[in-house]
Structure 1
Amino acid sequence: MEENIFHLQYALDTFYFVICGALVFWMAAGFAMLEAGLVRSKNTTEILAKNVGLFAISCTMYLVCGYAIMYGGNIFVSGIQEVDVAATLGEFAERGDFTGDSIYSGASDFFFQVMFAATAMSIVSGAVAERMKLWPFLAFAAIMAGVIYPMEGAWTWNGDDVFGLFNLGELGFSDFAGSGIVHLAGASAALAGVLLLGARKGKYGPNGQINAITGANLPLATLGTFILWMGWFGFNGGSVLKLGDVGSANSVAMVFLNTNAAAAGGLATAMIVARLLFGKADLTMTLNGALAGLVAITAEPSTPTAFQALLIGSCGGALVIFAILGLDKLKIDDPVGAISVHGVVGIFGLLVVPLTNSDATFVGQIVGGLTIFVWVFGASLIIWSILKAVFGIRVSEEEEFEGSDIAECGMEAYPEFTNK
């Protein structure tokens, strides 16, 4: 009887992991559509090439060495270990029920984790859009997914000491699904690239004026936001790591509820704040408000009440607007607002965790956030600098004016109508 129950839990938790991983995979489509909608039509094909390319390269490099760096094992051997069924069955028989640790296939764990590595890199593509060369970007994607992201993932989710100096878990660091580990990391890598790239031509005037450069396809950007919203249920829900008992099932349901509440709060608040600041309901700010709400709740979606999740998401939705405006004041050009959404709000998400999770401490959250930022930003700045010196990372002035589609891909996304 116990063996049958064991097989049922193993199958259920494995299936849940795989399905949530598939939902996170769908976020890649969301990033692609969002970014394709927010860039000018002359750069659409190239940004799509970056999104599909980075996804394949990230998955490959995480398989080759990233997963082993993050969770242990031999480098250049994936390190995926299947559960010892006989030993685990013996432990399970002592309980005779679904309670206890989750039990799932090692392959399902890798499948879920590799989607997070690709997501971290997807954040970078929008921030450097419209002026970064394709191939240096893809080269960076290989290093980001293969080394930079797995290193900070080992210090956080795997519990390793940071360079053998201190343990973030012992300091009270907690990041349930990756506001810092995934989103802040991606934004930190993006910031390093943006600082070396510089702004797009015409974005900032000589007298401090900020010129809006509108995207070509806002319906596509809206679709991308809804796809990301849907995929986030797998991103946060799968991070419960288990479904096969009453307590875990309740936690999964609460995570789904809170994820949706935070997104809704972020969107509604951003729309209201944009109306108050600009006199109009700015759609791009509104879409980023939804994403900011999602990032804000990702660090801890299981312990807040639904109303608390709504408030957390609402704060994220307001914060992202001021962050986008602030970066523009600093002449940090981010065409899609990725650094603000995933970086600034990612930090906010980490800092609010102790308000609802007593196991987390503000000191731990601050040290953890700083560790992620310093490592990812510093390592990325070095890699971007090497790529800039060896290959160059920015397209020429002429290519930027004509658009990256022709220069990098040899084709236009909208050949019958190109809006320069």
Structure 2
Amino acid sequence: MDISVLASGLDTIWVVLTAAMILLMEGGFALLEAGFVRQKNAVSIIMKVFVDIAFGALVFFFFGFAFMYGTDVSGLIGASGFMMGGDLTHIQLSISHNTYWLFQCAFVIAVISIVSGAVAERINFHAYILFTVAMTGFIYPIAGHWVWSTGGWLGSLGMIDFAGSAVIHGLGGSAALAAAMFIGPRIGKFSENGTPNIVPPSNLPLASVGAFILWFGWFGFNSGSTLSATNSSIGHIAVTTMLAAAAGGATCILFTMFRYRKSDPPMVINGSLAGLVGITAGCAFVSELAAIVIGAVCGIAMVFATEFLESKKIDDPVGAFAVHGVSGSIGTLAVGLLAMPELSEGAGKGYSGLLYGGGWSLLGVQALGLVTVTVWGFVVTWLAFKVISLFVPVRVTRDEELVGLDVGIHGVPAYSQENDFIEVTRLKNG
């Protein structure tokens, strides 16, 4: 057998398997968010995750992929590949275009899932479906084209974002912040004087399992971005991913013990995720020690970011912005500081981080790309919700929010008992 045919087959298997690992992360998102929100809203979280997968995949097939990876137009947008047709010859990989689409589809589903947690417990289901179409079909694909597509203007400048600290997490986090600000806080989250009230998570063990599934899927997220089973950097990527997550979690355990006199479980969960987010941009380009530093910094920054949002009366039930937006930003900039010459140059970038004698060039490009992508995500998300509000209410009614979205919107509780039948029937019939 021709060695190139064998390599192509191995690469295809590798990419399909890692795409499946990334898709499994949706189960992690579902459990994490269901555990963080109140029991009366658990079903609504699951339904939003199904919207992410079902609508996200279809929209990305019909036109999202084309805008992201189609033939470049002025470095801004793709113009071919609608329904996987047209000219895609510029995508030159050892795997088929369909295989590549599957992997990228798993990414786009992860992006919209970041936003779902920030608007939990009060968004109108119809509005969420419309925003999912906007995010997966337009907002994310455009930003992705700038960085990852052949001819994209940020990629042409030399921006490094291996698996998406900026394109996925920075964008998703800034979109989550805009959505949370637009829709407003949950009823009772803040007192009249602005003091935040604690809304206890319904099931922290469930949220923990969700975090572990996300942690597992992240190995597919980062290592799978090699798009090759024979890439020698897969092991290094997996190790830096593991160390950053561990550093984020360990740092949060120690830091919350010092700050709150008790180790805070939700913070520790999010600290590990923050480390994973932070290493996503540079997992292939930084050393193991640098990965630990990145994870630790992201873990501490996530705690302060969470407190800052609450001080500004911004309600983000699962910490989407603190985990994804803040840590994604740190990870993107860290590449400009800590990219190792032998790793970044081996990837064809030709750049070294500032601390490795590379000067300010790469850091400047990283900063420009980060600002551009996050501002794009925030502004266009706000505009999208503004347009959506002209057609359907963005927020549920007060009564629906108080009774819970599970029964109020979907007509079924997450955890039913025998006497629930009469109550649910009454609510469905008005």
Query: Structures share a fold, TM > 0.5?
Result: yes
The answer for the alignment partner of 1:412 in structure 2 is: 413
CA distance in 2 between partners of 1:389 and 1:139 (Å): 12
8 Å contact kept, 1:152–1:372:
yes
2:192 matches 1:223: no
2:157 aligned counterpart, secondary structure? coil
Residue in 2 that maps onto 1:192 = 178
| Cα distance in 2, alignment partners of residues 241 and 354 from structure 1 | 23
Q: Is the 2:80–2:88 Cα contact (8 Å) retained in structure 1?
A: no
CA–CA distance in structure 2, aligned partners of residues 398 and 287 of structure 1: 32
Counterpart check, 1:342 vs 2:324: yes
Whether the 8 Å contact between 1:187 and 1:342 is mirrored in structure 2 is: yes
Deviation digits for residues 334-391 of structure 1, max 9, x if unmatched?
A: 0000111000111011010022325261111111011111222121111101112321
Q: Which amino acid aligns with 2:185?
A: A
**Distance in 1 between the 2:308 and 2:181 partners?**
15
Task: Flag the 1:79–1:181 CA change in 2: closer, same or farther, 3 A.
Answer: farther
Within 5 Å, which residues of 2 pair with 1:2-401?
4-72=2-70, 74=80, 76-79=82-85, 103-161=94-152, 167-244=153-230, 248-249=231-232, 251-357=233-339, 358=341, 359=351, 361-401=362-402
Aligned 8 A contact 1:102 1:242 in 2: no
CA distance in structure 2 between the partners assigned to 1:34 and 1:136 by the alignment? 22
Aligned-partner Cα distance in 2 for 1:54–1:134: 12
Deviation of residue 76 (structure 1)? 3.7
- Distance in 1 of aligned mates of 2:88 and 2:16: 15
Give the distance between the partners of 2:61 and 2:201, measured in 1 at CA.
35
Tell me the amino acid that sits aligned with residue 363 of structure 1.
G
TM-superposed deviation, 1:172: 3.2
Partners of 2:248 and 2:87 in 1: CA distance: 39
Q: 1:75, CA displacement in angstroms?
A: 6.0
Percent identity at matched positions? 39
SS of the residue 1:103 aligns to: coil
Distance 1:71 1:79 in 2: 12
Check conservation: 2:65, 2:82, Cα contact below 8 A. no
Determine if contact 2:191/2:197 at 8 Å carries over to the other structure.
yes
**Runs of 4+ residues over 4 Å off in structure 1:** 80-84
Report the Cα distance in structure 1 between the residues aligned to 2:83 and 2:213, rounded to whole angstroms.
33
Rounded to whole Å, the distance in 2 between the matches of 1:299 and 1:126 is: 22
Q: How far apart in 2 are the matches of 1:220 and 1:149?
A: 29
Distance 1:327 1:80 in 2: 45
Shift of 1:102: 5.2
Q: Distance in 1 between matches of 2:252 and 2:23?
A: 27
Structure 1: tracts of 5 or more residues without a match: 89-100, 162-166
Separation in 2, partners of 1:261, 1:355? 18
Cα separation, 2, equivalents of 1:194 and 1:78 = 34
CA distance in 2, matches of 1:80, 1:23: 29
Superposition deviation, residue 78 in structure 1? 2.3
Q: State the 1:79 CA deviation.
A: 3.8
Deviates more, 1:189-198 or 1:27-36: 189-198
Report the counterpart of residue 426 of structure 2 in structure 1. Answer: none
State the one-letter code of the partner of 1:242.
Answer: S
Cα distance 1:75–1:11, how it changes in 2: closer, same or farther (>3 A)?
Answer: closer
State whether residues 171 and 363 of structure 1, in contact with CA within 8 Å, keep that contact through their aligned partners in structure 2: no
CA contact (8 A) 1:12 1:243 kept: yes
CA distance in structure 2 between the aligned counterparts of 1:275 and 1:33, rounded to whole angstroms: 26
RMSD: 1.9
Determine the C-alpha separation between the residues in 1 that align with 2:146 and 2:155.
9
Q: CA deviation at 1:170?
A: 4.1
Q: Would you say how many aligned residue pairs link Structure 1 and Structure 2? A: 392
**Contact 1:13–1:102 under 8 Å retained in 2:** no
Give the 3 Å change call, closer, same or farther, for CA 338–80 of structure 1 in structure 2: farther
Q: Is the 8 A contact 1:262 1:314 kept in 2?
A: yes
Output the CA distance in 2 between the equivalents of 1:392 and 1:198: 13
- The answer to which structure, 1 or 2, has the higher relative contact order (CA under 8 A, 6+ apart) is 1
**In structure 1, distance between residues paired with 2:19 and 2:267:** 28
What amino acid does structure 2 have at the position aligned with 1:77? M
1:352 aligns to what SS in structure 2?
helix
Q: CA deviation at 1:107?
A: 1.3
Residue identity in the other structure for 1:327: L
Measure, in 1, the Cα distance between the counterparts of 2:210 and 2:239: 21
8 Å contact from structure 2 (residues 336, 364) kept in 1: no
The whole-number CA distance in structure 2 between the counterparts of 1:227 and 1:211 is: 29
